[in-house]
Structure 1
């Protein structure tokens, strides 16, 4: 027997984003699951699009984890102090970014957009992003 309680009256919510949201990272996000769209309390999920040859602004998330699933394209994510570390993700790859880790994704394809699903253990779609200047740790 499970000791997890369930509220059978809680609604199941379907969300289809109809417009993009601008973010402080300067990438288009399509909000899927969040407090505002589905009433979630501890989870959010988005689709992010990195334009051809584009990139986000360097940043970190102070108090929540980020998981990314690469759908299309090839992204180089520079991370860590001074953004000196690097990892490349392609379709089918998952990427985990712990709280407080500076990072900056770059689309390596100058002709095609890259798309990924982003999930966070924070339910508010209003980004709590902290800008990061890699020159401070160069």
Structure 2
């Protein structure tokens, strides 16, 4: 792909539905700006919603919580659990199975997500065998 390299502003008005089960605010990716090593987008999780269990092969993820609180099951069998709240940063290593969700029944949570995969959905591997391990 031959793209003219230049600085670009993305006004996040488009969304897309990811394999993980959430809608993402489209931002920086190979598809939108021709990035070669990073993807960044906005995620708002509605109250009580959760993703499908998944991992990102060979790609790290960094998350900054803008508002609300989110939680995540993670580990080989989703045996570990953590919560993050507004102002927290979260790191997920490449290949780490995880299942994020919004524990609130009334408030949304919003985060900026950056990944070392410039093609946002390319490295997503769904893990349906883990979806029912943790409570819904």
Which range, TM-score by smaller chain?
Answer: 0.7 to 0.9
In structure 1, runs of 5+ residues without a counterpart are 1-8
Query: Which whole-Å CA distance do the structure 2 matches of 1:54 and 1:98 have between them?
Result: 23
Q: How far has the Cα of 1:128 moved from its partner?
A: 2.2
Query: Which whole-Å CA distance do the structure 2 matches of 1:105 and 1:125 have between them?
Result: 17
Query: Which whole-Å CA distance do the structure 2 matches of 1:97 and 1:90 have between them?
Result: 16
Higher strand proportion (structure 1 or 2): 2
Runs of 4+ residues deviating >3 angstroms: none
Whether the 8 Å contact between 2:48 and 2:104 is mirrored in structure 1 is yes
RMSD: 2.0
Deviation string, structure 1 residues 66-110 (Cα, Å, up to 9, x no partner)? 011011111111100221101100001001001111000110111
What TM-score do the two structures reach when normalised by structure 1?
Answer: 0.87
Query: Which whole-Å CA distance do the structure 2 matches of 1:62 and 1:23 have between them?
Result: 16
Equivalent position to 1:53, from 26, 48, 52 = 48
Query: Which whole-Å CA distance do the structure 1 matches of 2:49 and 2:122 have between them?
Result: 20
What TM-score do the two structures reach when normalised by structure 2?
Answer: 0.88
Query: Which whole-Å CA distance do the structure 2 matches of 1:45 and 1:10 have between them?
Result: 18
Whether the 8 Å contact between 2:19 and 2:121 is mirrored in structure 1 is no
Q: How far has the Cα of 1:57 moved from its partner?
A: 0.5
Query: Which whole-Å CA distance do the structure 1 matches of 2:120 and 2:126 have between them?
Result: 17
In structure 2, runs of 5+ residues without a counterpart are none
Query: Which whole-Å CA distance do the structure 2 matches of 1:10 and 1:62 have between them?
Result: 27
Matched positions, count: 130
Equivalent position to 2:83, from 84, 88, 94 = 88
Deviation string, structure 1 residues 42-72 (Cα, Å, up to 9, x no partner)? 0110101111110100001111000110111
